[in-house]
Amino acid sequence: MNARARLSCLIALGVVLCMASAAAGADRPARVSPVDQPPVVRTIQAPQALALDQAPNQVNGLFSDVTCALCSTGIQVIADNFAVSTGGFGFSLQQVVLWGGFYPGDVPPAVDDFDVYVHPDAAGVPSSTVLCSQTGIAPTRLQTGVILFTVHEYQMTINLATACSLADGTYWIEVFTDTGAGDDWFWETGTLDAVHGVVGSVWATASAPGSAWNSDSGTELAVQLVGTVLPVELQRFQAD
């Protein structure tokens, strides 16, 4: 058994009890276990136009990594749902802000490799249809100063090369990375946005992008979806 495997077993049997159940029955996603994490009181700046605003809450973290040594199948991807409600104008998604960390060694890769997918909703899970995507992204990575589950918390800011235009409706934002042979990246949990958030999230362990989604009704992710409400198209009329 290699060092990573021993670490995985130690965590599963000692601290991260949920990981044992994930490996056996896949009823919960692989996650960093809650520890005696002191509460952090802070204000997350909210841009003017948001499709989702879920601040990090330091409760837990779910791995979303295609080379996840601490996941039962070696891969796990996560998606969270949100509602666009603009009175019919629509929303132009331009930036995705996430919070998370690199577990268990607190060593990020030299260069990040993130993928972002936006799906329409299909009866409570992401549709196989991809409305917008961007792959191979190296986001801006900023340490927040918070120590989370013995590792640093990072704010990851992804600027989309092409804005994603979304009509009013319900969607899923899927984000995952490939850390290679290093630490696994976890997406930190967040507080539900009472206006734009939709209860629950999903995870998949078979492929990336995800398929055969599993529902997790008790978990929200820390994420801001930033952009602009689409402008009203003015019509010119001339009276004869």
Give the DSSP per-residue string, 124-177: TEE-S--SEEEEEE--EEEEEEEEETTEEEEEEEEEEEEEEEE-SEEEEEEEEE
The pTM of the whole model exceeds 0.95: no
Distances in Å between the Cα of 45 and the Cα atoms of 4, 49, 56, 97 are 37, 12, 12, 11
Q: Which two tokens stand for residue 218?
A: 């008790």
pLDDT higher at 163 or 239: 163
CA atoms of 115 and 183, how far apart (whole Å) = 17
Identify the residue whose tokens are 């001339």: 238
Contact in structure between 17 and 33 (CB atoms under 8 Å): yes
Q: Which two tokens stand for residue 125?
A: 């899970």
72-76, 108-112, 134-138, 228-232: the lowest-pLDDT one: 228-232
- Give SS3 for 13: helix
pLDDT (0 to 100) of residue 125: 97
pLDDT (0 to 100) of residue 229: 87
**Residue 100's pLDDT band (cuts 50, 70, 90):** very high
Q: Which two tokens stand for residue 146?
A: 């918070």
Long-range residue pairs from 134-139, CB within 8 A, at least 24 positions apart, any chain: 134/158, 134/160, 134/161, 134/162, 137/112, 137/113, 138/111, 138/112, 138/113, 138/114, 139/98, 139/112, 139/114
> Percent of the chain beyond pLDDT 90?
71
CA atoms of 131 and 8, how far apart (whole Å) = 36
Residue 19 has pLDDT above 50, yes or no: no
Mean pLDDT (the chain) is: 84
CA atoms of 68 and 185, how far apart (whole Å) = 8
Find all residues with CB under 8 Å of 228, minimum gap 6, and list them.
49, 91, 92, 94
40-49, 57-66, 91-100, 180-189: the lowest-pLDDT one: 40-49
135-149, 194-208, 220-234: the lowest-pLDDT one: 220-234
Q: What is the pLDDT of residues 37-67, one digit of tens each?
A: 666 665 554 445 678 999 999 999 999 999 9
Q: What is the pLDDT of residues 114-156, one digit of tens each?
A: 999 999 999 999 999 999 999 999 999 999 999 999 999 999 9
Residue 25 has pLDDT above 90, yes or no: no
Show the domains of the chain with their CATH numbers. 48-229 (2.60.120)
**Residue 70's pLDDT band (cuts 50, 70, 90):** very high
144-148, 202-206, 236-240: the lowest-pLDDT one: 236-240
Which class for 134: exposed (0-12), middle (13-18), buried (19 or more C-beta within 10 A)? middle
